[in-house]
Structure 1
Amino acid sequence: MKRRQFIRLSSLASASLTVPGIFRRGQTLLSAHQSGKRLIIIQLTGGNDGLNTMIPYSDDTYFKARGKLAIRRQDALYGHDLQGFHPALSGLKSIYDQGWLSIVNSVGYPEPNLSHFRSMDIWHTGSDARDYLASGWLGRWLDQHPGRPHEAIQVDQALALALKGDHRQGFALRNPQALNRAAKSPFLDAVTAHRHAHEEDMASYLYQTLAETQESAAWLLEKSKTHSASTSYPATQLGKDLRTIAELITADSDTRIYYASLTGFDTHVNQANRHERMLRQYDEAVTALVRDLKAHDLLTDTLIMTFSEFGRRVQANGSGGTDHGTASVLWLINEGHLVKPGFVNAPPDLIHLQDENMVFEVDFRSIYADILRSWLDTDPQIILGTGHPPIARLLIA
């Protein structure tokens, strides 16, 4: 295949398949799946209202600020004397009762940004608010751990910045069947056939990467066929996405990191019904995933982290909703490796505000650092740099 043919075919393929980045010269394709531990990240896009998710029902300030939008104590699901669960989170409450859930309140970062896009970039890259990075925190982890292209998978149409490194990136796929169909295109067939017969050295990396993409697609499809769900999943998109993740995990795939998202948490108007609907979608899907993993004895080696790019203001607005805020709640789910199951810290401080917003108490990068050290076997400073808060120490390695 001539170079001009390669370029022409590349343009045809780019719309149908997200492929991993080019590998560094000299890297061997070894799996980084050494500890057997897996990380699943679920992103709640739009800015989840942490106060109406984990209800501070012992704080009168909450009820004064939220008015009719407040969740009454008798309606909330009891957590402890100070805080409880939104009534739509009955499944998550059962996970809490099992001792498999850690709840971290008031998670954020200094100089918070209230733009969805910028704040999400900060969470994805692990940067300071004033720094702009082109690579994600998990993408930089991929750079440090040469492996197969499917080392990190996002179940979605597009790949999040979090999974993009300087030299490597993860896969984005909606399901293994669709990926395999895309990988059987004439373009990738031609690439595989000519992977050892190229004209220029730089092209060798493109040929190699794309050929490995095709091989990974077929491999992931085969792996997904071996899973037999032990529980039913909801018919929502998140339910389907988490079922796909469970299929690959229970099939003993080499994938170390999985990523999924649920969009719809930007609740400026008529929040009550919408927020309940979104939380219920999350609750039903993640509860099915946890049951499935537990039934296959895989929950011990799987960590599930759920986050949102920011929370909402303490005061309700005049449209039955809440506006962009700062700190919010973060969840970790696992069996046996949580240092402190339950509520890790105190409920949010609703008195001492900054610009009408809560002041964060836990820097999200301290949680990333703990995950990198305790779960992904990596020195956090290599990925996040220096100068950040101490490691959160939420996990038992």
Structure 2
Amino acid sequence: MSTSRRNFLKTSVLASSLLFVPKFLHALDRQGLPALRDANGRRLVVVQLGGGNDGLNTIIPYRNDIYYRARPTLGIRPQSGILTLDQDLGFNPAMTRLKGLYDQGHVGVLNSVGYPNPDRSHFRSMDIWQSGSASDQYVTTGWLGRYLDSSCPSCQAPYNGLEVDDTLSLAMKGTARKGLALKNPEKFHQITQNRFLAQVSRETGAAGGAELDYLYKTLAETTSSADYLYQTSKVYKSAIAYPNTEFGKNLKTTAELINSGIESRVFYVSLTGFDTHVRQQEQQGKLLGDLSDGLASFAEDLQKSGQFDNTLILVFSEFGRRVGQNASNGTDHGTANNVLLLGGGLRKKGILNAAPDLLNLDQGDLKHQLDFRSLYATVLHDWLGADDKAILGQEFARLKGLV
């Protein structure tokens, strides 16, 4: 191996970027990347709430005495500004702008979503949600990654799925294809503009073994992808005010990618910090305000560009919290939780199933009413036009008439 190649491997920022570069980049055409034509132009944006968001203080059963007995100081009272919905439920007072979208008919709420034999470990439960597996299965691919594997076989572009983050989640990893992780197109493009890359291109004919040749080819093709995303994303720059937070910035980047015409089918964004064992109310209120304001700005952005009707937003967390508060004015790891759906194409809106049953608990935890994989099956089949049974490994009852 030449000295220049050793230097490249040791010092190039691009080498570290390989942690999230998918193998199928080999198929990229450096002169132009293919456009997707599946799913009838529909796209899915998944928002992950990391840490286990407390669903009962997000969608509040404000007329249920059991809720207030279980949470004598943590329960949110109507006089605190609960934003009333239907079925005696209400949004957390911090979610004012999301309530506006609800009133416009753009929000659906699913209660008590979970799975049998729930796991209260953050890592394991998140793996279950991201992989779409049962609690006793261990799967190394994600439900969206398998969608990328199965959908549009002739399309090899890595931007079929984009995660606006530094690393790629399990949810976006398939067997043959994976999503692409980037914080924003400009920074991703800057990373690929490394002075060693020109040298790589000149040395592609040098003998170095199949693995090393693969490495250099992948890096070169990543540059082509980064350039495409950067150049295309410059078409649209948002004028909408987003929260000045990491989450707000990531949603703004997502909107700019969508509104610029990048034909990705799946986007993934995260908001973390929901592990509220201590003094929950203030911490969760700030996070839910960030979620509400960010999603409302995102929806406004897409509405102005005519992209809201063909975008479905799914908001989930790896589990909820226990019904009763703990001694630290917080809540501990629980089980079933609510899921939010947003979009201009929702056929069913509002509260979509029964409120959590606080009289019928499993050792202090909510019992799930709806298996999350039924929701995934609905999104995959009815929204994205994919084979949900093949992707999820078995058939789950779909929610009729939802999307």
TM-score where L is the length of structure 2: 0.91
Report if the CA contact (8 A) 1:88-1:279 is conserved.
Answer: yes
d(CA) in 2 for partners of 1:59 and 1:151? 45
Report if the CA contact (8 A) 2:320-2:335 is conserved.
Answer: yes
Residue 344 of structure 1 is matched in structure 2 by 352
Residue 20 of structure 1 is matched in structure 2 by 21
Listed as ranges, the matches of 1:79-90 within 5 Å are 79-90=85-96
Q: Is 2:120 the counterpart of 1:119?
A: no
Residue 357 of structure 1 is matched in structure 2 by 365
Aligned length: 393
Partner SS for 2:44: strand
Residue 110 of structure 1 is matched in structure 2 by 116
d(CA) in 2 for partners of 1:273 and 1:306? 21
Alignment CA distance shift 1:221-1:27 (3 Å): closer
Q: 1:204: Cα distance to partner?
A: 5.9
Q: 1:193: Cα distance to partner?
A: 4.9
Residue 390 of structure 1 is matched in structure 2 by 397
Q: Is 2:269 the counterpart of 1:255?
A: no
TM-score where L is the length of structure 1: 0.92
Q: 1:58: Cα distance to partner?
A: 2.1
Q: Is 2:299 the counterpart of 1:290?
A: yes
More displaced 10-residue stretch of structure 1: 43-52 or 190-199: 190-199
More displaced 10-residue stretch of structure 1: 10-19 or 222-231: 10-19
Residue 100 of structure 1 is matched in structure 2 by 106
Partner SS for 1:14: helix
Alignment CA distance shift 1:67-1:216 (3 Å): same
Q: Is 2:176 the counterpart of 1:167?
A: yes
d(CA) in 1 for partners of 2:84 and 2:311? 26
d(CA) in 2 for partners of 1:280 and 1:369? 30
Partner SS for 1:23: helix
More displaced 10-residue stretch of structure 1: 356-365 or 73-82: 73-82
Partner SS for 1:15: helix
Residue 45 of structure 1 aligns with an amino acid whose one-letter code is: G
Alignment CA distance shift 1:321-1:300 (3 Å): same
d(CA) in 2 for partners of 1:8 and 1:134? 33
Partner SS for 2:285: helix
Residue 121 of structure 2 aligns with an amino acid whose one-letter code is: S
Report if the CA contact (8 A) 1:175-1:244 is conserved.
Answer: yes
Residue 222 of structure 1 is matched in structure 2 by 231
Q: 1:82: Cα distance to partner?
A: 1.4
Partner SS for 1:140: helix
- 1:57 maps to which of 46, 62, 86: 62
Residue 106 of structure 1 aligns with an amino acid whose one-letter code is: S
Listed as ranges, the matches of 1:193-342 within 5 Å are 193=202, 206-336=215-345, 338-342=346-350
Q: 1:39: Cα distance to partner?
A: 1.1
Residue 372 of structure 1 is matched in structure 2 by 380
Report if the CA contact (8 A) 2:20-2:167 is conserved.
Answer: no
Residue 152 of structure 1 is matched in structure 2 by 161
Residue 36 of structure 2 is matched in structure 1 by 32
d(CA) in 1 for partners of 2:15 and 2:112? 40
Residue 104 of structure 2 aligns with an amino acid whose one-letter code is: Q
Report if the CA contact (8 A) 1:195-1:211 is conserved.
Answer: no
d(CA) in 1 for partners of 2:231 and 2:27? 29
d(CA) in 2 for partners of 1:72 and 1:10? 59
Residue 113 of structure 2 aligns with an amino acid whose one-letter code is: V
Q: Is 2:20 the counterpart of 1:47?
A: no
Report if the CA contact (8 A) 2:28-2:221 is conserved.
Answer: no
Q: 1:127: Cα distance to partner?
A: 0.7
Residue 93 of structure 1 aligns with an amino acid whose one-letter code is: K
Partner SS for 2:249: helix
d(CA) in 2 for partners of 1:201 and 1:120? 36
Residue 189 of structure 2 aligns with an amino acid whose one-letter code is: N
d(CA) in 1 for partners of 2:2 and 2:298? 46
Alignment CA distance shift 1:198-1:59 (3 Å): farther
d(CA) in 2 for partners of 1:197 and 1:343? 62
d(CA) in 1 for partners of 2:197 and 2:37? 27
CA deviation string 1:121-180 (max 9, x = no partner):
001100110111111111112222342112111111111111111222111111111101
Report if the CA contact (8 A) 2:87-2:355 is conserved.
Answer: no
CA deviation string 1:214-263 (max 9, x = no partner):
11111111122221324211111111000100111110012221111011
d(CA) in 2 for partners of 1:264 and 1:175? 22
Report if the CA contact (8 A) 1:230-1:295 is conserved.
Answer: no
d(CA) in 2 for partners of 1:281 and 1:236? 8
d(CA) in 2 for partners of 1:39 and 1:4? 46
Report if the CA contact (8 A) 1:33-1:256 is conserved.
Answer: no
- 2:75 maps to which of 70, 74, 83: 70
d(CA) in 2 for partners of 1:299 and 1:198? 51
Residue 123 of structure 1 aligns with an amino acid whose one-letter code is: W
More displaced 10-residue stretch of structure 1: 39-48 or 24-33: 24-33
**What RMSD in Å do the two structures reach over aligned CA positions?**
2.3
Residue 139 of structure 2 aligns with an amino acid whose one-letter code is: L
